[in-house]
């Protein structure tokens, strides 16, 4: 798939923070696809000893029936050096370039992208999901296993229960129960998606497990690629 170049990546941490503040107002935080069939997910693994990143993107076709199997349409996994330092709140500058290389190798364009990371639930309102959304100009949702910012009340135990995640007086996401009585995921709009749609689309993509099916597939692919590389295990 093709997408335009939004900016360069040769930035200092100070320049990266300023760029986040410049880009965040461009986000569209409403709408979202009603019933997407082609859903992609992105995940990144890391080999600390080798200072290598492994990015994986898996595009899947959502089945017609809830009990049917998801179909893998395309998948890409790439490894490369971690060129940007590890700085909390600036992970997109470390991870996004390699993830974008994966997307550039897709032959088809997804209708929705789920990202292992934050959307607007971020100190400057531009986590990895939002940053990728601006680059790809696609609806993106941040599906994070842990909270970066904000406060919330624990949602009820049944799957589908959720509570608002609030940060500095604003609602920036949701703590969503995606499986009965398991830890919630932290969902936040990335780009071209509102909060209620982000929650609905996450549940639409989730089966019997805590993670959405495309996210599970991307995580498995990244870990499989990681095991093929030399370095610590």
pLDDT band of 226, cuts 50, 70, 90 = very high
In this predicted structure, which of 6-10, 45-49, 171-175, 207-211 has the lowest mean pLDDT?
A: 45-49
pLDDT at 50 > cutoff 90: no
Q: What are the φ and ψ backbone dihedral angles of 216, each rounded to 5 degrees? A: -60, -45
Domains in the chain (CATH in brackets) are 34-227 (3.30.2170.10)
Q: What are the φ and ψ backbone dihedral angles of 188, each rounded to 5 degrees? A: -145, 145
Q: What is the dihedral of CA 202, 204, 206, 211, to 10 degrees?
A: -10
The bridge status of strand 162-167 relative to strand 140-144 is unpaired
pLDDT at position 51? 86
pLDDT at position 141? 98
> In which element (H, E) is residue 104 found?
helix 91-104
pLDDT band of 48, cuts 50, 70, 90 = confident
- 121-145, pLDDT tens digit by residue? 999 999 999 999 999 999 999 999 9
Give dist(CA 224, CA 17) in Å, integer. Answer: 33
pLDDT at 233 > cutoff 90: no
pLDDT at 56 > cutoff 90: yes
Give dist(CA 82, CA 48) in Å, integer. Answer: 9
Burial class (CB in 10 A: 0-12, 13-18, 19+), 110: buried
CB distance 210 to 35 below 8 Å: no
Supply the DSSP string of 37-75, one letter for each residue: SEEEEEEEEEETTTTEEEEEEEEEEPPSSTTSPPEEEEE
pLDDT at position 231? 67
pLDDT band of 232, cuts 50, 70, 90 = low
- 66-98, pLDDT tens digit by residue? 668 999 999 999 999 999 999 999 999 999 999
Instruction: List the one residue out of 205, 193, 198, 194 whose CA is nearest residue 58.
Output: 205
pLDDT at position 227? 92
- 3-24, pLDDT tens digit by residue? 999 999 999 999 999 999 999 9
- Starting at the edge strand found earlier in the chain, the sheet holding 170-176 runs 71-81, 52-61, 38-47, 112-115, 140-144, 185-191, 170-176, 162-167
Instruction: List the one residue out of 78, 111, 112 whose CA is nearest residue 96.
Output: 78
């Amino acid at each position: 798939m093709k997408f335009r170049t939004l900016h360069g990546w040769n930035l200092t941490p100070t320049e990266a923070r300023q760029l986040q503040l410049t880009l965040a107002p461009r986000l569209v935080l409403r709408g979202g696809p009603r019933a997407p069939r082609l859903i992609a997910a992105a995940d990144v693994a890391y080999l600390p000893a080798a200072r290598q990143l492994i990015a994986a993107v898996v595009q899947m076709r959502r089945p017609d029936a809830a009990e049917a199997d998801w179909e893998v349409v395309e998948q890409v996994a790439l490894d490369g050096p971690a060129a940007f330092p590890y700085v909390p709140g600036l992970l997109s500058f470390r991870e996004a370039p390699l993830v974008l290389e994966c997307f550039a190798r897709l032959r088809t364009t997804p209708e929705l992208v789920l990202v292992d990371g934050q959307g607007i639930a971020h100190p400057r309102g531009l986590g990895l999901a939002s940053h990728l959304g601006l680059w790809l100009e696609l609806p993106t949702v941040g599906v994070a296993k842990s909270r970066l910012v904000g406060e919330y009340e624990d949602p009820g135990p049944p799957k589908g229960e959720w509570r608002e995640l609030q940060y500095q007086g604003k609602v920036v996401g949701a703590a969503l129960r995606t499986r009965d009585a398991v830890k919630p995921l932290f969902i936040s709009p990335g780009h071209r998606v509102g909060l209620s749609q982000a929650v609905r689309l996450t549940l639409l993509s989730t089966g019997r497990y805590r993670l959405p099916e495309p996210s599970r597939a991307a995580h498995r692919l990244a870990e499989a690629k990681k095991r093929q590389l030399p370095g610590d295990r």
